[in-house]
Amino acid sequence: MNIVLLGSPGVGKGTYAERISKIYNIPQISTGDMFREAIKNKTEIGLLAKTYYDKGNLVPDDVTIKIVEQRLKQDDCKNGFMFDGFPRTIAQADALSNIVVIDKVLNFTASEEIIISRLSGRRVCIECGAIFHIKNIPPKTEGVCDECNGKLIQRDDDKPDSIKKRLDVYKKQTEPLIEYYKEKGLLADIDANRPFEQVDEIIADARKALDE
């Protein structure tokens, strides 16, 4: 099954994607993670992406489409995949439709208040990328990853100025994809306006939509 996850930054896509991709045994493809890795390794794409990433802007479509195309050629995508954070523009969605058939699009929704609180409290492990939240998913020891003992940090783009910018960019450039996929009959809305303790219910709703 080829799945796209839509939803504002901060809605929890990364957390849901991790759970759902394990259930369906398909890889989670996060373009955000791919850019973070490239920036960390100072590759050519990383150096280019950094100027956009740091300001909360989208990396240009041609660069993004190219890294996705390369990723889809890997063996683990043969039986399906789950995109988390891609596509983010109509041009990316059009390009994707020329490469593969998408079976379902899950659109996670939550109020702006919840989204801002999730983004500003998020902490990530610099070693393994595991995601925590200072209130909702606190690590056992403050500032230390439960999985690998790595250091937990706040992403630069989770700081207040970047959050505002990313939400503006989402509204202008990514939200139109909701209508785009609705018109194609692929969209299922999933209510993510629930506290973290109810994440199992959010996943159950996502499974129901995928198994329909």
Binding site for ligand AMP (CB under 6 A): 9, 31-32, 35, 52-53, 56-59, 64, 85-88, 92, 157, 166
Q: How far is the CB of 57 from ligand AMP (least distance, A)?
A: 6
Q: Is residue 166 flagged as an active site residue?
A: yes
Q: Is residue 194 flagged as an active site residue?
A: no
Q: Are 107 and 188 in contact (CB under 8 A)?
A: yes
Q: How far is the CB of 212 from ligand AMP (least distance, A)?
A: 26
Q: Which residue, 14 or 188, has its beta carbon nearer to ligand AMP? A: 14
Q: How far is the CB of 113 from ligand AMP (least distance, A)?
A: 19
Q: How far is the CB of 200 from ligand AMP (least distance, A)?
A: 23
Q: Which residue, 31 or 188, has its beta carbon nearer to ligand AMP? A: 31
Give the amino acid at 33.
Answer: D
Q: Are 189 and 8 in contact (CB under 8 A)?
A: no
Q: Are 107 and 191 in contact (CB under 8 A)?
A: no
d(CA 7, CA 188): 11
Q: Which residue, 109 or 149, has its beta carbon nearer to ligand AMP? A: 109
Of 19, 155, 194, 207, which is the active-site residue? 155
Residue 156: DSSP 8-state = G
Q: Is residue 88 flagged as an active site residue?
A: yes
* Rg of the chain on CA atoms, in Å: 16
Q: Which residue, 6 or 26, has its beta carbon nearer to ligand AMP? A: 6
Residues 86-105: b if buried by 16+ CB within 10 A, e if exposed: bbbbeebbebbeeeeebebb
Q: Are 82 and 5 in contact (CB under 8 A)?
A: yes
Supply the residues annotated as catalytic.
13, 88, 122, 155, 166
